[in-house]
Amino acid sequence: MSFTETLLNGEEGLFKPKTLTPMQKLTLRFVVVGLVYYLFVIIEGMIMRLYEISPLPFVSEKQFFAILTAHPLVGIFGSTYSIVCGAFLFLVPFLMKKPLWSFRLANWTFLLIAIGTFVFWSAGFISHYAPLYTLYWPLPADFSQFAPLGGAFFILGIALIMLGTVFFVINVFKTIAYTPEGWEKQPSGALIASALGVSGAENLFRRKKKEHLVSLPVAAIARGTVDMALNSAVILFTGVLILVYMVAALLGHSLKDTAIDALLYKNWFWWGLDLIADGLVLIFVAGTWYLLATMITGRKLFMQNIARAALLLELVVSWTVWSHHLLADQAQPAFLKVISGEFVTAFELITQGLAFFITLATLWAARPLKMTNPLKFLLGGLLGFALAVPAGIMQADVGLNRILHNTQWVVGPHVHVAVLVGLTMTLYAAIYILFPILTNGAKLYSQKLANVHFWCHLIGGIGMGAFMGMAGLQGMLRRTLYLDGEFKTFMILAGLSGALLLIAFLSFFCNIVMSVGIKGVIGIFTRSELDRGTLLPEAKG
Amino acid sequence: MVDPALVLKGQTIAYTCYCIVILLVMGWFALKITRGTSGVVKPGLFYTFVGFLIVLGVSLHIITYNTIPWSPVDLHRGNYTPDKTFEISIAKHEFRLPSEKLLVDCNDLVLFDVTTEDLTYGFGLFREDNSMLFQMQVVPGHRNDILWKFNSPGTYTIRSTEYSGPAGIHMVVKNAVEVRGCN
């Protein structure tokens, strides 16, 4: 096939959108939108990287901070939530061998996340609403710096996403528990108890152990989804609170911002936000590692009962770690700093370390393995968390936090390495392994491009984290600008690493487009003629 | 008091060594799993690893509490009597200092008591080479105080260490604290 033919019809013309079921199409739509928003994140990241080297004439300081506000939110919600929700709405029925409870609700999740992200992103872009994702009270209601109308649209966008995630939560639990039409009655309560780990915990006290009704990956998805539900409630409540102040300002009334206690707000906010960073991300990632390891090796997971118990422990830990974000707050009670901030947080080293070891042991037991794209990206993801989690544990220490808090160390070796290398490479591994399943056997266009994608992403992600970390150790703060070029060398090196990430993504993007063709990409967004209850063309459910 | 720069140097060495080891381990693992024959990982190795993680996670904080001098001072600062107190307030993105220059005698235990009238800010002291001595958050409606013992001479810049809107990047008071009298 000529280059043009491949560009139009995909590699060897193997991808045929007409053969896709509605669920396959919906999952692919989630992935496409997630990747487009990932491109937003990379471009925004590069603009900020260049601005940190030398202010750009076409970007004002206000615009810079609006980008800084939108950047992580587009990354978390627009990109990661899209890909994760799409993948799990496909995987839960796939692994449970029954149809999704509601295709319509899944479609709403897709639309609300895609539209909500665009709404808050545009509100930030146009109005420069920039209280950062931390929203430290009373900054989001500081209308001497931000316009209430822009802010109201920003919060509305976030609220739409939260509504989409609520629909996702309902769909996941309903799919686990419901009885499809014409099926024998399913034990709903027992299925939910198994998914949440209640029956597993009861097994500890039983002589005759009960069998687990749901597979380990489904249990991981269910437990991470609990954190997603709690997080949505916290963010929605916070959004409504901020909206009240904005609407009042728009109507010409100024509400007293001291009515809200800033420290209590901070505790509430971090409790909710940590359900993502230290909750569902770690649980979903561990579950995805287990699924990938079993799919790659075709074997049972090493120590699977302990893995299952560790997921439950991780869920409980995620409810009690938030105080590590408040170690620099002197009014925060010392016992919360020590118990929640230090010691419970240290449990993440244990739970994530367990997941790391179990995944590696499962792979090891199946030697020799072919170094496929899913395997190499899985190893990259494991490496990312192996680098980022200890960095996080170090900063979650009363003594070290005094000299690390809000420096580039926090956002470099911890956040960016965890997200870019750990999380994103795990997601790429999942995309590479699900690609033939979701496309009914489409072939990857170029292995060379996949290799460029892997190495540029790995080196770029670790490099960016490392150079930001070095700057942080020398005192460079995050969330600010240095206008006299104080840390220029580190920022140039971090910028070059960012360029590698951009190259990596473009390689991946071109590879996928060439694999499915432009007609194929368009075909994903057309209506499927097949039955909604069919997951894959070959088999019902 | 041990200089924070020394603590950071120790942390840098420890973390760098760890990174090198984990990169080598993962590289070795990636090579090995494409070769050899299947084998079973002994549960004993797994439980040893878990035990190691527990010891590491708990001991890190015990070690830092006993070796980083400002940790116990920070957690029990009500038990200490400062040699000097500076009351500082912040409003409208501006630090209001009790005097143009805050003078500190060497080995003095100094209390910085910072309040904010509007937003959440940060309060940090930075050396002339921009590296950080310490920082804390400054939250409205609450007491934000930090005790620090200065045992080496120097001039320090005050900078807000928390984002408080775009105007916050200009919250820098150069050479605001001077420590003198050290041998």
Residue A210's alpha-carbon distances to A95, A203, A306, A440, B146, in angstroms, are 20, 6, 15, 37, 55
A540 band by pLDDT with thresholds 50, 70 and 90: very low
Looking at CA atoms only, how far is residue B85 from chain A in angstroms?
A: 16
> How far apart, in whole angstroms, are the C-alpha atoms of residue A258 and residue A268?
16
- Is the per-residue pLDDT at A414 higher than 50? yes
Give the single-character DSSP code of A261: -
> At A301, is the secondary structure helix, strand, or coil?
coil
ipTM of the complex: 0.95
Alpha helices by DSSP H, A146-215: 148-177, 188-196, 198-203
Predicted TM-score (pTM) of the model is 0.95
What is the structure's pLDDT at A541? 43
Inspect the interface and report whether the beta carbons of A398 and B56 lie closer than 8 Å: no
Inspect the interface and report whether the beta carbons of A131 and B165 lie closer than 8 Å: yes
Residue A369's alpha-carbon distances to A383, B15, B159, in angstroms, are 18, 31, 54
Tell whether B22 is within 8 A of chain A (Cβ). Answer: yes
- Is the per-residue pLDDT at B102 higher than 70? yes
> At B138, is the secondary structure helix, strand, or coil?
strand
- Report the residue from B22, B57, B161 with minimal CB separation from A347: B57
Domain B82-180 falls in which CATH fold? Immunoglobulin-like (2.60.40)
Mean of pLDDT values over A304-324:
92
- Is the per-residue pLDDT at A117 higher than 90? yes
Mean of pLDDT values over A434-438:
95
Inspect the interface and report whether the beta carbons of B19 and A387 lie closer than 8 Å: yes
Rounded to 10 degrees, the C-alpha dihedral A68/A79/A498/B18 comes to 100
Give the single-character DSSP code of A441: S
A34-92 confidence digits (pLDDT tens)? 999 999 999 999 999 999 999 999 999 999 999 999 999 999 999 999 999 999 999 99
Looking at CA atoms only, how far is residue A477 from chain B in angstroms?
A: 7
Inspect the interface and report whether the beta carbons of A302 and B137 lie closer than 8 Å: no
Interface of B with A in 81-120 (CB under 8 A): 118-120
What is the structure's pLDDT at A516? 96
Looking at CA atoms only, how far is residue B79 from chain A in angstroms?
A: 14
Inspect the interface and report whether the beta carbons of B4 and A361 lie closer than 8 Å: no
Residue in chain B closest to A341 (alpha carbons) equals B61
- Report the residue from B8, B122, B142 with minimal CB separation from A406: B122
> How far apart, in whole angstroms, are the C-alpha atoms of residue B96 and residue A359?
55
Residue in chain B closest to A136 (alpha carbons) equals B120
More confident residue, A539 or A297: A297
Q: Count the residues in chain A.
A: 541
| Chain A residues touching residue B50 (CB < 8 angstroms) | 350, 353-354, 357
| Percent of chain B whose predicted confidence (pLDDT) is above 90 | 89
Cα-Cα-Cα-Cα dihedral sign, residues A219, A220, A223, A226: negative
What is the structure's pLDDT at A164? 98
What count of CB pairs under 8 Å joins A to B?
Answer: 227
Residue A47's alpha-carbon distances to A38, A42, A442, in angstroms, are 14, 9, 35
Interface of B with A in 125-144 (CB under 8 A): 126-127, 129-137, 139-144
Report domain extents, chain B.
4-68, 82-180
Mean pLDDT of chain B: 94
> At A206, is the secondary structure helix, strand, or coil?
coil
> How far apart, in whole angstroms, are the C-alpha atoms of residue A4 and residue A7?
5
> At A28, is the secondary structure helix, strand, or coil?
helix
Residue in chain B closest to A361 (alpha carbons) equals B41
Interface of B with A in 149-178 (CB under 8 A): 159, 161-169
Inspect the interface and report whether the beta carbons of A402 and B60 lie closer than 8 Å: no
Mean pLDDT of chain A: 95
A27 band by pLDDT with thresholds 50, 70 and 90: very high
Residue B72 main-chain phi, psi, to 5 deg: -65, -35
- Report the residue from A65, A328, A357 with minimal CB separation from B136: A328
Cα A179 to chain centroid distance, Å, stands at 30
Beta strand pairing call for B109-116 and B84-91: parallel
- Report the residue from B7, B29, B61 with minimal CB separation from A342: B61
Other residues' Cβ atoms within 10 Å of the Cβ of residue A484 = 7
> How far apart, in whole angstroms, are the C-alpha atoms of residue A34 and residue B125?
41
- Report the residue from B50, B131, B164 with minimal CB separation from A350: B50
- Residue A48: partners with Cβ closer than 8 Å, 6 or more residues away: A64, A67, A68, A71
Mean of pLDDT values over B56-64:
91
Contact A461, A424 (CB under 8 A): yes
Of the ranges A277-286, B112-121, B160-169, which one carries the lowest mean pLDDT score?
A277-286
Tell whether B42 is within 8 A of chain A (Cβ). Answer: no
- Is the per-residue pLDDT at B38 higher than 80? no
Interface test with B, best of A402, A455, A467, A473 (most B CBs within 10 A): A402
- Report the residue from B26, B53, B143 with minimal CB separation from A331: B143
| Chain B residues touching residue A262 (CB < 8 angstroms) | 120, 139-142
- Residue B132: partners with Cβ closer than 8 Å, 6 or more residues away: A403, A407, A475, B4, B124, B125, B126, B161
A465-518 confidence digits (pLDDT tens)? 999 999 999 999 999 999 898 999 999 999 999 999 999 999 999 999 999 999
